[in-house]
Structure 1
Amino acid sequence: MAKPIVERAPKFSMKDFDFQKVEDIFHDYAEVDDKGRYLHWSVLKWRLPQNDAKRIWSLIKFKRTMQVKYLHITDDNEELFYYCIPHSMEAKLHKVIQIAGGSIASVAGNVASDNIQKKFLVSSLMMEEAITSAQLEGASTTREVAKKMLEDEREPIDEDERMIINNFLLLKHAEKMKNENLTLDLILDFHRIATLHTTENNVVPGEFRKNNDIHVRDYQGEVAHQPPCYKKIEERLFDLCEFANSDHSGAEEASPFIPPVIKAIILHFMIGFEHPFRDGNGRTARAIFYWFMLKHEYDLFKYVSISKLLKNDPKGYGLSYLYTEKDNNDLTYFIDFQLDIILAAFDELQDYLKVKTDEFYQVVELLDDSRFSGLNFVQKDIIKKATKEPGRIFTVKEVSNSYAISDNTARKNLNALVTEKLIYSLKDGRSTNYISSNNLIQRLSAKKIRKV
């Protein structure tokens, strides 16, 4: 049998802690290292004097325990889950709350100056999250093909594409249900949407697993996590729903304050830990995370894709689960990792918006001609796409979905561009396709030169 990737941390108990044994090193070690990292025993032990590692670990655990917040959630051995917020994590949490509590305008500047632009951004970025969430679970469809499928509402040709469509519908449903409490029915509803018409691991959409033959393996093929018994699923998820729906605003002494971001991350973890379904647990967990953030009016999360970054670091994602499970249910490892992911996602959002803004205004500059001064945002953005992809085919359905406008409005926008001879129309049976010119940029540039 291969050696476990993560060694279980030595057990720690406050009643067994001997201050005198660590008095000489008490001020030398903190709950985090000098770089602010909250390290697990299996990583930390190699950074400590080998003949003194367990004694130092005992001191570090003592300092962590002094900051612990216990939750009314237990593992299958009735041991409580808990977390703490060391100073390095406090800074991350503050930054997440500060950014997430703002508006898209605070991140995007003037790129989202009107309602149509905002709807366009939501739709576009929701597609990105749906695609990468499916890719994280093993879907192999390329991003370009997947996005075109979502825009055109094309029927999926295989299970990979089906997963992506399901994820897109799942995110839209999570937003729709943001004012509802978390219930078993809602969890099952999320799962049903995520796995409809898929067959991986013999999954039954909207139904809990019926046995214990499901487990999580690491990259060595070894069992990394055995979820709690299937007979306990409903009872345990009912307790999780009570936790989700409880008031943790700090208004009641019996329910201490838990920041909504932390609580959303905990819900994400617990669905993965319980693994209540044969397949689709990750997608359901991430949907519940988004649902909870939107429920607490962190609307910026409509524009943020965490799955893309989780996909880029699957090892870190898996280890954050293992560190928690192999250190007496300390959720701090998972929370800290997810805060880093969220902050990185905010950075990616800013970069994405900057690129889109620059691209948009490049086209606006090309269209800076009195003849085109009346073009609206949708029309200018279509031209932007047309200049990037000569020969691209636009459909009414795609434009309607991309900009959250009616089919009739989409058709009017496209026909206006045909009238201006910026794109061409071509009948395809009873429908009409709209095609970008191969030399659109040259044509627009030539018009500017003639004007000068």
Structure 2
Amino acid sequence: MKIEKPKEWSLLVDEVMEKYSPDELFQQMDRFKPIDEKGCYLHWDELRRRRDRYKKPDLAWLSIKSARRQISKNIPLKDIDGKPFSLCIPDSLQCLLHQIDKMAGGNISAVDSGIVNKDTQHRYLVQSLIMEEAITSAQLEGAATTRKVAKEMLETERAPRNKSERMILNNYRMMRSAVNAKGLPLSPELILNLHEIATDGAIDNDAEPGMFRQSDDIVVRYDGETVFTPPPAKTITKRITELCEFAAKDHSNAEADEFIHPVVKATILHFMIGYIHPFGDGNGRAARALFYWFMLKSGYWLFEYISISQLLRKAPAQYVKSYVYTETDDQDMTYFIDYQIHIIHRAINELIAYLKEKQQSYYDFMTLLEDSGFKSTLQPRQLDILKKACREPGRIFKATVIKNEYSVSLNTARSDLEKIAKLKFLVQFKEGRELLYVAPSDLLEKITRSK
């Protein structure tokens, strides 16, 4: 990954002052903003290639950097050389943060969700979408298992057959732990615990689950090339302690000495775990878990339903570049923040589209049931099972899968399936000692005939 590092500020100023006349400097200095006309937060390596737009790239870069420095601020977290990281939130990001607040800080009713109440939504969505994040987060780290096989493993609670499946199961358990820990303060112990859950039986580089690395013999590679060397192992405990102190400080209070938006702060936690690289393996999984933990802790409950890893996996090079851009440009963390906030915004919009699709499907199905007269005899959970049976003729339902999907007891899951089978909407059969239920191919016709 060849990225040209921009010149240091003082050197850039000297070179531009010597190269251009005062009139040229005056004309250009107010021409550019922190972002381009499309709202992109460009790195020097990107800007220098756009000769059609930036005919004098060094002068344009000086103008852009000047604009950024005016709204930039340092945070109390430092790089290997003791230089503080900084962030700069231009109007384009402020706009996205406002939209994220409206969509993710409220509730799903923001998408006209007369579909069901929040408690029912939680039951229907959380399990499957936490599974989605667990699967794609592990795939980002190299797990080679299809989504279908992985979901089958999680739903049926079967033991993992290989390391890839172990990674996915561990990620699922880690995500559940992060959700349950949202009321706790961040501590080294919490970070170690999440890492231990994530890497149990699925860890490389001779690393130990739930233990900070003791070796400096580690680099971050992408596409066969070294892109980053983490800070020394002897500094990890101090850096993690400082990160926990940063997380504990209230930056959203009106009386705070400085404001940092909660979504930005969650993204900083994500970035810093990747930068400190406190573990020999599993840093990405731990970083994403901490991001979710802080978002939930900050009241963005919709993030129980959102998978960011699914989008990160589609463009892994951009994910890596956002780290490299930060390291090569005065530790300006805005590159990573900008990339991550765009990912979050897309993930929320995809969830809303998913919910609208499910909502319409739900309404269509409920209309059919209204006509059949069976709606009043079935609970919302049982109606949802029946809807899935209508959508997938031939699907086999197991009590263990229903238990996990709806967070109910095994007895309740069995009762649900038995009740639907008594209405002749599922066909019961035995496989060994286990009772299974299959969706008949003519289920919709059966419901229609039962009017």
> What's 2:268 paired with?
266
Per-residue displacement from partner, 1:156-208 (whole Å, max 9, x unpaired)?
A: 11111111111111111111111111111111011001111113333321011
Supply the RMSD in Å over aligned alpha carbons.
2.1
Query: Does 1:380 find its partner at 2:377?
Result: no
After TM superposition, the structure 1 stretch with the greater mean CA deviation from structure 2, 135-144 or 275-284, is: 135-144
Is the partner of 1:22 in helix, strand or coil?
Answer: helix
Cα distance in 2 between the residues matched to 1:15 and 1:69? 20
Query: Does 1:74 find its partner at 2:78?
Result: yes
Contact 1:108 1:350 in 2 (8 A): no
Question: Which of 6, 10, 23 is the matching residue for 1:9?
Answer: 6
Code of the residue aligned with 1:393 in structure 2: it is: I
> What's 1:39 paired with?
42
Residue 322 to residue 214, structure 1, CA distance change in 2 (3 Å):
same
TM-score relative to the length of structure 1: 0.93
> What's 1:26 paired with?
29
Is the partner of 1:214 in helix, strand or coil?
Answer: coil
Contact 1:116 1:403 in 2 (8 A): no
Per-residue displacement from partner, 1:238-292 (whole Å, max 9, x unpaired)?
A: 1111111112125556x41111110000000010111111111111000000000
Structure 2: unaligned runs, 5 residues or longer: none
Code of the residue aligned with 1:29 in structure 2: it is: F
Q: Aligned ranges for residues 304-383 of structure 1 at < 5 Å?
A: 304-367=306-369, 368-371=371-374, 373-383=376-386
Contact 2:31 2:63 in 1 (8 A): no
Per-residue displacement from partner, 1:101-122 (whole Å, max 9, x unpaired)?
A: 1112223612232523322211
Code of the residue aligned with 2:128 in structure 1: it is: S
Q: Aligned ranges for residues 54-93 of structure 1 at < 5 Å?
A: 54-93=58-97
Cα distance in 2 between the residues matched to 1:231 and 1:76? 12
Code of the residue aligned with 1:161 in structure 2: it is: E
Per-residue displacement from partner, 1:307-354 (whole Å, max 9, x unpaired)?
A: 111111111111111111111100111111111101100111011112
1:218, distance to aligned residue in structure 2 (A): 2.4
Per-residue displacement from partner, 1:372-398 (whole Å, max 9, x unpaired)?
A: 542222222112222233322211121
After TM superposition, the structure 1 stretch with the greater mean CA deviation from structure 2, 356-365 or 317-326, is: 356-365
Code of the residue aligned with 1:72 in structure 2: it is: P
> What's 2:200 paired with?
196
Residue 249 to residue 401, structure 1, CA distance change in 2 (3 Å):
same
Per-residue displacement from partner, 1:55-93 (whole Å, max 9, x unpaired)?
A: 321221111011111100000100110001111111111
Cα distance in 1 between the residues matched to 2:259 and 2:117? 36
Contact 1:105 1:112 in 2 (8 A): no
Structure 1: unaligned runs, 5 residues or longer: none
Question: Which of 147, 152, 164 is the matching residue for 1:148?
Answer: 152
Cα distance in 2 between the residues matched to 1:372 and 1:256? 54
Residue 392 to residue 25, structure 1, CA distance change in 2 (3 Å):
same
After TM superposition, the structure 1 stretch with the greater mean CA deviation from structure 2, 118-127 or 5-14, is: 5-14
Query: Does 1:391 find its partner at 2:394?
Result: yes
Contact 1:117 1:403 in 2 (8 A): no
Is the partner of 1:46 in helix, strand or coil?
Answer: coil
> What's 1:412 paired with?
415
Query: Does 1:229 find its partner at 2:229?
Result: no
Residue 15 to residue 351, structure 1, CA distance change in 2 (3 Å):
closer
Cα distance in 1 between the residues matched to 2:123 and 2:112? 14
Residue 441 to residue 142, structure 1, CA distance change in 2 (3 Å):
farther
Is the partner of 2:236 in helix, strand or coil?
Answer: helix
Contact 1:111 1:353 in 2 (8 A): no
Contact 1:190 1:284 in 2 (8 A): yes
Code of the residue aligned with 1:248 in structure 2: it is: H
Cα distance in 2 between the residues matched to 1:46 and 1:16? 21
Residue 196 to residue 190, structure 1, CA distance change in 2 (3 Å):
same
> What's 1:283 paired with?
285
After TM superposition, the structure 1 stretch with the greater mean CA deviation from structure 2, 41-50 or 123-132, is: 41-50
Contact 1:14 1:62 in 2 (8 A): no
Cα distance in 2 between the residues matched to 1:107 and 1:169? 29
Residue 247 to residue 15, structure 1, CA distance change in 2 (3 Å):
farther
Contact 1:131 1:146 in 2 (8 A): yes
Question: Which of 405, 423, 426 is the matching residue for 2:426?
Answer: 423
Cα distance in 1 between the residues matched to 2:207 and 2:111? 40
Code of the residue aligned with 1:412 in structure 2: it is: S
TM-score relative to the length of structure 2: 0.93
Is the partner of 2:362 in helix, strand or coil?
Answer: helix
* Matched length: 443
Is the partner of 1:202 in helix, strand or coil?
Answer: coil
Contact 2:25 2:59 in 1 (8 A): yes
Residue 202 to residue 212, structure 1, CA distance change in 2 (3 Å):
same
Code of the residue aligned with 1:153 in structure 2: it is: E
Contact 1:250 1:258 in 2 (8 A): no
Is the partner of 2:436 in helix, strand or coil?
Answer: strand
Cα distance in 1 between the residues matched to 2:12 and 2:187? 39
1:433, distance to aligned residue in structure 2 (A): 1.6
Cα distance in 2 between the residues matched to 1:51 and 1:377? 63
